[in-house]
Structure 1
Amino acid sequence: MQIRYAFSELGTGLRRNVTMTVAVVVTVWISLVLFGLGLLVRSEVALVKGFWYDKVQIAVFMCNDVSSSPQCADGAVSGAQRTEIEQALSTNPEVRKVYHESQQQAYARYQEIYKDAATADIVKPVDLQESFRVSLKNPEQYQGVQSAVQGLPGVFSVQDSREVLEPLFKGLNGLQWISIGLAGGLLIAGVLQIGNTIRLTVFSRRREIGIMRLVGASNFYIQLPFIVESVVAALVGAALACGTLAFTPWVTAKLRTDVRVVPWIGWEETITTMPVLAALGILLAIIASFITLRKYLTV
Structure 2
Amino acid sequence: MRLGFVLREMFIGLRRNVSMALSVVLVTMVSLFFLGAGLLVQQQVDILKGQWYDRVQVSIFLCGPESLPANCPAGAVTAAQRDAVRAELTTGSLAPLVDEVFYESQAQAYDNFVEQVDPTLAENVTPDQLPESFRVRLVEPDRYDEVRQAFVGYPGVEDVPDQRAVLGPLFSALDGATLVALVLAALMLVCAVLLVSTTIRLAAFSRRREVGIMRLVGASRWLILLPFVLEGIIATVLGAALASGALWALVEFGLGEVQARPDFTTRLVAVPEVLWPTMPAMFAVGVLLAVLASLVSLRRHLRV
Q: TM-score, normalised by structure 2?
A: 0.94
Residue 286, structure 1, aligned to residue 291, structure 2: yes
- The structure-2 alpha-carbon separation of the partners of 1:69 and 1:270, relative to structure 1 and needing over 3 Å to count, comes to farther
3-state DSSP of counterpart to 2:123: coil
The equivalences for 1:19-98 within 5 A come to: 19-90=19-90, 91=92, 92=94, 93-98=96-101
Instruction: Tell me which amino acid in the other structure corresponds to 1:36.
Output: G
How big is each residue's C-alpha offset from its partner over 1:214-271, in whole Å with a ceiling of 9 and x where there is no partner?
A: 1111111111110111110011100100110012132212222277252211111011
Are residue 127 (structure 1) and residue 132 (structure 2) matched?
no
Q: Deviations over 1:101-159 (max 9, x none)?
A: 11111111111111x25312221211111100011122221222122111122111001
Any idea what SS the aligned residue of 2:120 has?
coil
2:294 partner letter: S
> Counterpart of 1:265?
269
Q: Does the residue aligned with 2:137 lie in a helix, a strand or coil? A: strand
Residue in structure 2 matched with residue 161 of structure 1 by the alignment: 163
Q: Per the alignment, in what secondary structure is the counterpart of residue 77 of structure 2?
A: coil
Does structure 2 conserve the Cα–Cα contact (< 8 Å) formed by 1:69 and 1:156? Answer: no
Contact 1:89 1:148 in 2 (8 A): no
Give the direction of change, closer, same or farther, for the CA distance of 1:5–1:171 in structure 2 (3 Å limit). Answer: same
Helix, strand or coil: the match of 2:160?
A: strand
Q: Is the 8 A contact 2:7 2:227 kept in 1?
A: yes
Secondary structure at the residue paired with 1:246?
Answer: helix
- AA of the residue aligned to 2:125: V
Distance 2:198 2:52 in 1: 48
Q: 1:117 to 1:169 in 2, by over 3 A?
A: farther
1:241 & 1:293 partners in 2: Cα distance? 27
Alignment of 1:119-268 (within 5 A): 119-247=121-249, 248-256=251-259, 257=261, 260-268=264-272
Pick aligned residue for 1:107 from 105, 110, 116: 110
Q: Matched residues in 1 for 2:238 and 2:71: separation?
A: 68
Deviation at 1:10, TM superposition (A): 2.5
Flag structure 1 segments of 5+ consecutive residues without an equivalent: none
Tell me which moved more, 8-17 or 194-203.
8-17
Question: What residue in structure 1 maps to residue 13 of structure 2?
Answer: 13
Deviation at 1:97, TM superposition (A): 1.9
CA distance in 2, matches of 1:258, 1:170: 28
Residue 9 of structure 1 aligns to a residue in which SS?
Answer: helix
- Does the 8 Å contact 1:58/1:158 carry over to 2? yes
Q: Aligned-pair distance for 1:61?
A: 0.4
The verdict on how the C-alpha distance between 1:178 and 1:84 changes in structure 2, with shifts beyond 3 A counting, is: same
Deviation at 1:11, TM superposition (A): 2.4
Secondary structure of the residue that 2:299 maps to in structure 1? helix
Cα offset, 1:212, TM superposition = 1.1
Distance 1:189 1:154, change over 3 A: same
CA distance in 2, matches of 1:144, 1:31: 44
Separation of aligned partners in 2, 1:157 and 1:48: 27
Separation (CA, whole Å) in 1 of partners of 2:252 and 2:32: 17
Once structures 1 and 2 are overlaid, which stretch shifts more, 249-258 or 140-149?
249-258
Give the distance between the partners of 2:136 and 2:194, measured in 1 at CA: 55
Gaps of 5+ in 2: none
- Counterpart-to-counterpart distance in 1, 2:265 and 2:86: 30
Deviations 1:258-295 (A, max 9, x none): 77252211111011111211121111111111111111
Give, in whole Å, the separation in 2 of the partners of 1:31 and 1:252. 21
Q: Is the 8 A contact 1:88 1:149 kept in 2?
A: no
1:298 equivalent to 2:300? Answer no
Distance in 1 (CA, whole Å) between partners of 2:274 and 2:211 is: 43
SS of the residue aligned with 1:10? helix
> What's the secondary structure of 2:257's corresponding residue?
helix
Larger mean Cα displacement after TM superposition, 45-54 or 255-264: 255-264
Give the share of equivalent positions with the same residue, in percent.
Answer: 43
Instruction: Tell me, yes or no, if the aligned pair for 2:71 and 2:159 is still in contact at 8 Å.
Output: no
TM, length-normalised to structure 1: 0.95
